Structure 1
């Protein structure tokens, strides 16, 4: 989503330096040609402290936007080291910190939360991607409420809508006798695809259907073994990462988000923008806001594969009006989001 934001700002003619820690991202080729890429020469956020401080001291930009929690904490220290008092520091938080830290043991949890309490008050403004993330940030960080503002993710772009019209990427898509259920995301604990597999196996026992999960990750072998145990391997496809998931989303009969936690789930937003029926877990944070408490589409408890299976069947049997889904994510437009960011960054008149 940061890529969409950077491109939307670049289209306005702003000079943007994109500070890179990792230069091998699959999406770097999509960056607007006017954006100036700067390699900080480090492989980890923690080791980028001194290069970032040097950049701030030499450049003294009017604003620095940090895209994640760790980057924000490093940016606070770098600004102090560089004595870059002119630089306004903005942090974008895209996840629910409490949920993300929940699996950590006590001492590691303490070590993660203490720097937040110490450093977040030195940030000028914090942009949360959902109301749930905002509320959690206030609790975790202890900053004053006026410092944290919600701006919706810059999800919906003309490029997304155009990419969705690409030719069908999989032979299963478009078969009315075997509706396709789609999951998208890294194959990690956070996305909880095992719950989706169990729900799918239960649903498939009652009606024909197929499941495609896009993404790479450490749980691939576990999911493949689990599909064999559940007897659904012939109805499951794991194509891995794809640069264009939107062609899948556009043609899938149902998109399912089975996550344990999010911030504001972009894949769910993208599917809705394309008019595809959706089901989601009611995880912290974001789905409840996107689906208006379950009014727009079903929300089910996290990890409850039986409830998920029933909700999936309901959406396949009675899909919602695609127009309603599209309308419900209008405020996730990239240009509108960029306007809000620039206003908060003090660059609206630039």
Structure 2
């Protein structure tokens, strides 16, 4: 993976590494760069190897040397733009490469200049043509198959492992402690989380919050960092809601924030499978999400577990946020939970990589 910056793809890779290591495998997280706030649980005995490469291309030679020296059984790569480098580096080794597509490929390609789009698509099609791929939702898998002209059976759907037993128990406790009758005049704490970039649609969210004509006690809490933070702060100021929009930066206590919030809002323009939306539902929060390319509709089961609104529709999003004022906390059913439970979802990844569930026999990796 690229680094430890704390995005959803990186967090899932760390969670997988820790859970697979707990099952007896020797696991190493290989990163291009060492920077970022994301921490690895030391109790899981996960090794780390830093390639110290500024670009994906520069990482190829270092990754090849590491693969030749340690000969791991498998190499799981995420996000997918690193896949071509891993496939190229793994030539003439016994390592099997697997790519985890963390977003929706067509939307990612559409956001690139045409030259970069062509290069990315060529690399995906030709350098990675023999690599097995996973996508995070059925919608993203269909999109990936269409973009790369692959048979659908070449792509495995891999739900994010993001629900721990502790999170589910804390969410259930929160639901049980909520009064049967909610005060519709209570102050609302709307929470959202994600990188501050165009994909996550925080500009749409701020406009929707302003359109609510929020009451004095209402707050919009935005957890995450990114290049668009100054522009988003300026937008909140222009719309007259700067005093009620709080930019929290990257937070390691996101679950605690969810348990203290009134509702969760996801305004993304596209996604893979938003883990924060899954965690918000597990914590018992009422939610609203955009029906963006990716897995939000799949998570919500087409609106069964939360509200879906069109992408970039400020008025629909604002109306849905207003409706959340009257909704009690609740959790989806147990079948839904198991799909994203860390243990069950990790089983799915091990199946994907043709590895046993326990007592792995891969070789140790470098410190």
Q: How high is the TM-score relative to the length of structure 1?
A: 0.90
Q: 8 Å contact 2:81–2:120 — kept in the other structure?
A: no
Residue pairs, 1:148-167, within 5 angstroms: 148-158=155-165, 160=167
Q: Which residue does the alignment assign to 1:104?
A: 112
Gaps of 5+ in 2: 1-11, 173-183, 361-367
1:307 aligns with 2:316: yes
Q: 8 Å contact 2:338–2:344 — kept in the other structure?
A: no
Q: Which residue does the alignment assign to 2:153?
A: 146
Deviations 1:78-101 (A, max 9, x none): 111xx11x2221111110011112
Deviations 1:126-167 (A, max 9, x none): 1111111111111112233222110111111246568989xx
Q: Which residue does the alignment assign to 1:211?
A: 220
Deviations 1:65-112 (A, max 9, x none): 1122122111111111xx11x222111111001111212233332122
Q: 8 Å contact 1:92–1:128 — kept in the other structure?
A: yes
Higher RCO, 1 or 2 (CA under 8 Å, sep at least 6)? 2
Aligned partner (choices 250, 267, 278) of residue 258 of structure 1: 267
For residue 25 of structure 1, report the CA deviation from its aligned partner.
Answer: 2.5
Q: Which residue does the alignment assign to 1:336?
A: 344
Deviations 1:245-278 (A, max 9, x none): 1111112111000000110001111101111110
Aligned partner (choices 298, 305, 312) of residue 296 of structure 1: 305
Q: What is the SS of the residue equivalent to 1:28? A: coil
Say if 1:203 and 1:335 are closer, same or farther in 2 by CA, change over 3 A.
same
Q: Which residue does the alignment assign to 1:172?
A: none
Say if 1:22 and 1:293 are closer, same or farther in 2 by CA, change over 3 A.
same
1:194 aligns with 2:180: no
Say if 1:325 and 1:309 are closer, same or farther in 2 by CA, change over 3 A.
farther
CA distance in 2 between counterparts of 1:127 and 1:160 reads 26
Q: What is the SS of the residue equivalent to 2:302? A: helix
Q: Which residue does the alignment assign to 1:170?
A: none
Residue pairs, 1:38-77, within 5 angstroms: 38-77=49-88
Matched length: 337
Say if 1:79 and 1:236 are closer, same or farther in 2 by CA, change over 3 A.
same
Q: Which residue does the alignment assign to 2:18?
A: 7
Q: 8 Å contact 1:53–1:78 — kept in the other structure?
A: yes
1:36 aligns with 2:47: yes
Aligned partner (choices 240, 256, 261) of residue 247 of structure 1: 256
